[in-house]
Amino acid sequence: MSANNKKISILYIDDEEDNLLSFKATFRRNYDIFTATSSAQGLNILNNNTVHIIIADQRMPQSTGVEFFDIVRTAHPDPMRILLTGYTDVEAIIDAINKGQIFRYIKKPWDKLELQTSIKNAYEVYTTRQNLKIKIEELQRTNDELNRFVYSTSHDLRSPLASVMGVLNLAKMEGSVKDPNGYMGMIESCVNKMDFFIIKVIEYYKSVRVDEAYEIVDLKKLATDSIDLIRMQNRSIIFDLQVNQPEEFWSDAFRLSVILNNLISNAVKYQKPDECNPFVKLVIDVNQQEANILIEDNGVGIIEDHLNNIFKMFFRSNFTVTGLGIGLYIVKEALTRIGGDISVASTPGVGTSFLLKVPNMKPVRESE
């Protein structure tokens, strides 16, 4: 019984009215009882009343108890289901249990104590599931509110950062501030890093919350735009872009851009300081089914023990480089949303390569 002493509500379905009367006479003081002599009556009761537990006889003329439960669990998944059977229909019972159609089965004629215990256990499971559902909904609401707060705050923070950067640039242009110790450069560096972190947070929010939008994507232009954006991080990097796109490629341009930006940025960020010929290579090959994208560098590499963890949020394989540890997590999340996959191979001190497989979501026309 629940904490507020509400009675357990039970629907009992049986084509034999004597059985219904016997059940009602036995348990009317303990439970709120609805009875029905057919599946149609039972469905009508479920549509108009709150029912915690359904008890149905297996052998009924219009449909078996298992068949009724199979129909009911789609429209009314919450009530617990108990099957009564006077026959040794073992295969049907096992199949029903395996498919999750019934909580328990009891042989007829039923024993009062056994049935009462089964009802008690079923209601405990019912209340546990309802409480869990409420908690999940509360967590979802809290998570949504937190995401919106983070997104809104991130946007609001970029405005004062832009103002600070504007003042710094103005001071440099006018030469009005003497800075023999390089403090202005340090401030500029910190502002840029903070702005970079905020952009990553916004990227994550959009990747998780924004719905997929599929369109024709020019992968050469997309990759070129990413390279031009990231080239400023290290102008000594040699970029080698090879694109073979003989087919129309349909995908989510926004998420692909986020994926390429993060992977190319990492390839640049984790270069060896003493490397004479740093490079980042992109090879993109498109066919009717998918796009294969290889991003390779000759940077510091990743040790084998870290390869299984690099896509986890906040994991960083190299603490000598400043970062949030969410770039590859964003990549993995965005790829999952568009049905793609990613693999990585790396040798410490030699470099890292990421191979992406992104499905071509080209719409199928009726003529095809």
Side-chain half-sphere CA neighbours of 249 within 13 A: 27
Average pLDDT, the chain: 85
pLDDT tens-digit series, residues 171-180: 878 777 787 7
Note the pLDDT of residue 3.
Answer: 41
Confidence at residue 351, expressed as pLDDT on a 0 to 100 scale: 93
DSSP states of 281-306: EEEEEE-SSEEEEEEEE-SS---GGG
User: What's this model's pTM, rounded to 2 decimal places?
Assistant: 0.56
Which pLDDT belongs to residue 89? 63
pLDDT at residue 48 above 80? yes
Q: How confident is the model at residue 78 (pLDDT cuts 50, 70, 90)?
A: very high
CA distance 298 to 270: 9
Position 145 pLDDT exceeds 80: no
Neighbours of 277 (CB within 10 A): 8
Please list, in sequence order, all residues whose beta carbon lies within 8 angstroms of the beta carbon of residue 52, skipping any fewer than 6 positions away.
8, 9, 10, 79, 80, 122, 123, 126
Q: What is the pLDDT of residues 200-236, one digit of tens each?
A: 777 777 666 777 789 999 999 999 999 988 888 788 9
Distance CA 208, CA 194 (A): 22
Nearest to 219, CA basis, from 256, 182, 180: 256
d(CA 322, CA 331): 18
Query: Do 58 and 84 meet the contact criterion of CB atoms below 8 Å apart?
Result: yes
Buried b (16+ CB within 10 A) or exposed e, 214-224: eeebebeebbe
Burial status of residue 289 (CB atoms within 10 A of its CB: 0-12, 13-18, 19 or more):
exposed
| 97 has a pLDDT exceeding 80 | no
| Maximum Cα–Cα distance across the chain | 100
Lowest mean pLDDT among 69-83, 121-135, 185-199, 331-345: 185-199
Provide the residue type at 306 as one letter.
H
Instruction: Specify the higher pLDDT residue, 89 or 40.
Output: 40
DSSP-derived 3-state class of residue 252: strand
Residue 92: pLDDT over 50: yes
Strand partners, 32: 9
Residues 305-361 pLDDT 10s: 888 888 887 777 665 555 556 788 889 988 999 999 999 999 999 999 999 999 999
* 54 three-class SS: strand
pLDDT mean over 281-293: 96
What DSSP character marks residue 6? P
The predicted model gives 247-273 an average pLDDT of 91
Q: How confident is the model at residue 88 (pLDDT cuts 50, 70, 90)?
A: low
Q: DSSP letters of 201-214?
A: HHHHHHHHHSPP-E
Is the pLDDT score of 127 beyond 70?
Answer: yes
pLDDT score at 2: 43
Length reported for the chain = 368
Across 130-157, average pLDDT: 81
pLDDT at 69: 86
β-strand pairing of 341-347 with 250-252: unpaired
Please tell me the predicted confidence (pLDDT) of residue 319. 55
Give the pLDDT confidence score for residue 99 in this predicted structure: 63
